[in-house]
Structure 1
Amino acid sequence: MYLKFNTVSEVSRVLKTFIAYLKRPDLYPELGRKIVKNTVNRGNAFKGKEKTNSWAASRAVSQKEAVLKLFGTDIDSFRNIYSDILAEAERRQNECPIKMGGAGALELIYYSCEFANAKNAVETGVAYGWSSLAALLSLEKRNGTLYSSDMPYLAQDGDQYVGYVVPENLKPNWKLFRFADKESLPKIFVESPSFDVVHYDSDKSYNGRFWAYGELYKRLRKGGVFISDDIGDNSAYQDFCEKNAIETTVVEYEGKYIGVFIK
C-alpha cells in the first residue's frame, strides 16, 4: 500500500489538496473515501478497461448518429441557434484563470432534455459548466430545474469558477450542490425524487460509478434519458448495463466514449 508521485509539483498539489480538506469538516467523508481509493483500491479505477474499450469501439457511433437514432432529431441547428451564447461561453472559459474540463457532447445533452420534455434533470460533475449550460438551454423553456453535484476544486482554489460559463439569466433554473456525490445526491433526491434526464460525469472509479449509476437509474422515470461520460475508463458502465439488461448506445466523441440510453 503506497502512493507514487512522479514530480515535485504533484507532491505539492496533493499536499495542498489534503490541507484544504482538513479545513473543511463537511468534506471529511470524501477525504476518507479518497484515501481508501488511492491506497487500498488504487487498481480499481481501471477495472475492466480493456474489455470495455473493445466493447465500446465495436458499437460506437457519432454524436450526430446517436441523436438522430434515439431522438429523431438532427443536431446541426444547435450551434446556429445558440451561436452567441456559445461564443460568450467560450470567451468566459478562455479568460478563466483556472483550467478545468472543456466542453463535451453538448448536443447530446441538449437534445436529451428536449426529447424527454425535461423539467427535472440531474448531473454529476460541473467544471466550467458546459454540460450545465446545454441542459439549462432546454430546461429554461419549461421553467425546469437542473440539479448539479460537484466537488470544490480544492487544489486550485477554484470554487468561484465552477459553472463559470453559465450565464446569469439561466441560474434561476440551476441548483448546485458543492459536495461529493455521496453527500450531494441524497440532498438532491430530497428536493426531487424523480428525473427526466441523468448526466453522469464525476467520480471515475469503478465503485464510485457503479454506486451512483444505481442510485440515479432508479430515480430516472421511464422514458427518461441516461447519459454517462468517459465510459471507457473502466467497465462499470458496461457491467451496469449488462446486469440490468439495458440496451445502450455508445457515442464516440473526441477519442472517448459516452453511454446513452432511454429507460
Structure 2
Amino acid sequence: MQSVLRTLFGYLARPQLYPELIRKIYKNIFDRGSAVQGKKESEIWCAERAISQQDAIYRITENEYSLYKDFPEQMKKSKKIEIECPVKMGGPGALDLIYALCEYTQAKNVIETGVAYGWSSLAALLSLQKREGKLYSSDMPYLDRNNDKFVGCVVPERLKKYWNLFRQADKESLPKIFKEQRTFEIAHYDSDKSYKGRMWAYPLLWERIEKNGFFISDDIGDNSAFMDWVNQNNLQTVIVEFEGKYIGVVKKL
C-alpha cells in the first residue's frame, strides 16, 4: 500500500506525467492481463531459438566485441556506483550486444527506451563517443522509489554531452525525440513491458531505423508481443538468452 501511495504522490507532483497516470489507472482496472499475454508460448518459442550473447554477436558481425575488455576501468567504476546507489533498479543486460551493434553499424544516432542506472546507455555511449554521435533516451522514473536523481548514474559526466535524456513516458518522449532526430542505426526497447505497450512502440521505432540498422528488445519472454510482431511482419530474428531472460534482435534489410 505504501508503494502505491508513493507512486500516486509521485505522479501528482509531476504534472508532465499526468497522461501516463491516466493510462496506468486504465491499465490496472481494465487491462491487467496484458503484461503476461502469451507468456508460455513465447518462452517456448524463445527457448527453441536462443543462443548465447557472444554467439549472437559473432553470427551478426562475424567479429568479437567486449565492452569489459575495451573499457575495464570505466566498467569497474560504474559497477561501484551501482553498488553504492541507495535506490535499487534494473541491473546490466546484454551490454556487449548493444556495444557490438553500435560498433558494427558505426552508429551515429541511437534511441533507447528505459534507462534506470543507465547501463545500456553507457554501452551505447562508449561507442557513440568515438564518432561524436548521439544517444536519445526515453525514461519513466520509478515513482515509488524516488529515483529521479539516480537515473543514468553509471554514465560518467564526460559522456553526457552525447546524450539527450527525455524524462517522460514513451508516448510523450518519443514524439519529442523524433522532432530532434528522424532516423537511427540502433533502437533498443526496454520500457513498457505490457503486450499492448510493446505492440504500440515496436512499429513506431522500426519505422525510424535505417537500412541495415538493428532493433533490440529486452525481456521478450514476458509475453508474446515480440514473437507476434516478427511473425506478422515476416522478420528474421536472432534470440539471445542472457541470465535466464531473452532478448530479440532484428536487422532491417
With normalisation by structure 1, the TM-score equals: 0.94
Is 1:19 aligned to residue 23 of structure 2? no
With normalisation by structure 2, the TM-score equals: 0.98
2:236 paired residue number: 247
Gaps spanning 5+ residues in structure 1: where?
1-10
The correspondence for 1:121, drawn from 92, 110, 119, is 110
2:91 paired residue number: 102
2:24 paired residue number: 34
Q: CA deviation at 1:152?
A: 2.0
Q: Report if aligned partners of 2:85, 2:150 keep a CA contact under 8 Å in 1.
A: yes
The correspondence for 1:130, drawn from 115, 119, 122, is 119
Is 1:112 aligned to residue 101 of structure 2? yes
State the alpha-carbon separation in 2 of the partners of residues 101 and 44 from structure 1: 21
Is 1:211 aligned to residue 200 of structure 2? yes
1:232 paired residue number: 221
Q: Report if aligned partners of 2:108, 2:133 keep a CA contact under 8 Å in 1.
A: yes
State the alpha-carbon separation in 1 of the partners of residues 101 and 214 from structure 2: 6
The correspondence for 1:46, drawn from 27, 36, 50, is 36
Q: Report if aligned partners of 2:67, 2:95 keep a CA contact under 8 Å in 1.
A: no
Cα deviations across residues 13-34 of structure 1 (Å, max 9, x unaligned)?
0111111211222111100111
Equivalent position SS for 2:235:
coil
Aligned CA-pair RMSD: 0.8
Equivalent position SS for 2:79:
helix
Equivalent position SS for 1:103:
coil
- Percent of paired sites with the same residue: 57
State the alpha-carbon separation in 1 of the partners of residues 197 and 175 from structure 2: 15
The correspondence for 1:57, drawn from 47, 58, 62, is 47
Q: CA deviation at 1:78?
A: 3.1
Gaps spanning 5+ residues in structure 2: where?
none
Which segments of structure 1 move beyond 4 Å, counting only runs of 4 or more?
none
Cα deviations across residues 3-55 of structure 1 (Å, max 9, x unaligned)?
xxxxxxxx110111111211222111100111111110001111111111100
